Structure 1
Amino acid sequence: MVKKKFRRFLYHYLFPYAGLFLVRLLSATYRIRIVDPDNEQNILKAGGRLVYASWHQRFFPGITFFSNRKPIAIMISQSRDGEMAARTVTILGWRAVRGSSSHGGDQALETMKILARQGYKIGHIVDGPQGPFGVVKPGLIRIAQYAQLPIVPVIMSGQNLWAFNSWDRFMVPKPFSRVIIRFGSPIHVPRDMGKDGFGQMQAHVTQTLKQLYADTDAVWQDEVRLREIFG
Structure 2
Amino acid sequence: MIKKKYRRFLYYYLFPYAGLFLVGLLSATYRIKIVDPDNEQNILKTGGRLVYASWHQRFFPGLTFLSTRKPIACIISQSHDGEIVAQAATILGWRAVRGSSSHGGRQALETIKRLVDQGYKVGHVVDGPRGPFGTVKPGLIRIAQYADMPIVPIIISGQNRWVFNSWDRFMVPKPFSRLIVRFGAPIHVPRDMGQGGFEQMQARVAQGLKQLYEDTDAIWRDEARIKEIFG
Distance (Å, rounded) in 2 between the aligned partners of 1:159 and 1:104: 39
SS of residue paired to 2:196: helix
Distance (Å, rounded) in 2 between the aligned partners of 1:101 and 1:81: 16
Structure 2: where are the runs of 5+ without partners? none
Distance (Å, rounded) in 1 between the aligned partners of 2:140 and 2:82: 18
Write the letter of the residue equivalent to 2:49. R
Runs of 4+ in 1 over 3 A off after TM superposition: none
| TM-score for both structures, normalised by structure 2 | 0.97
| Other-structure match for 1:58 | 58
Query: Residues 77-96 of structure 1: matches in 2 within 5 Å?
Result: 77-96=77-96
SS of residue paired to 2:60: coil
SS of residue paired to 1:43: helix
Distance (Å, rounded) in 2 between the aligned partners of 1:226 and 1:100: 40
Residues 78 and 99, structure 1, Cα contact 8 Å, conserved in 2: yes
Distance (Å, rounded) in 2 between the aligned partners of 1:56 and 1:73: 16
| Other-structure match for 1:42 | 42
SS of residue paired to 1:166: coil
| Other-structure match for 1:106 | 106
Query: Residues 144-159 of structure 1: matches in 2 within 5 Å?
Result: 144-159=144-159
Deviation per CA, 1:76-129, whole angstroms, max 9, x where unpaired?
111111101100000011000111233322221222122112211010100111
- Is the aligned partner of 1:192 residue 2:192? yes
**What is the CA-CA distance between 1:228 and the residue it aligns to?**
0.8
Write the letter of the residue equivalent to 2:223. E
SS of residue paired to 2:89: helix
Distance (Å, rounded) in 2 between the aligned partners of 1:61 and 1:211: 20
**What is the CA-CA distance between 1:194 and the residue it aligns to?**
1.6
Distance (Å, rounded) in 2 between the aligned partners of 1:75 and 1:162: 27
Write the letter of the residue equivalent to 1:180. I
Distance (Å, rounded) in 2 between the aligned partners of 1:131 and 1:101: 14
Query: Residues 105-124 of structure 1: matches in 2 within 5 Å?
Result: 105-124=105-124
Q: What count of residue pairs does the alignment treat as equivalent?
A: 231
Structure 1: where are the runs of 5+ without partners? none
Distance (Å, rounded) in 2 between the aligned partners of 1:12 and 1:31: 31
| Other-structure match for 1:141 | 141
**What is the CA-CA distance between 1:186 and the residue it aligns to?**
0.5
SS of residue paired to 1:206: helix
Residues 73 and 120, structure 1, Cα contact 8 Å, conserved in 2: yes
- Is the aligned partner of 1:74 residue 2:74? yes
Distance (Å, rounded) in 2 between the aligned partners of 1:35 and 1:9: 40
| TM-score for both structures, normalised by structure 1 | 0.97
SS of residue paired to 2:180: strand
* % identical equivalent positions: 80
Residues 109 and 139, structure 1, Cα contact 8 Å, conserved in 2: no
Distance (Å, rounded) in 2 between the aligned partners of 1:15 and 1:199: 37
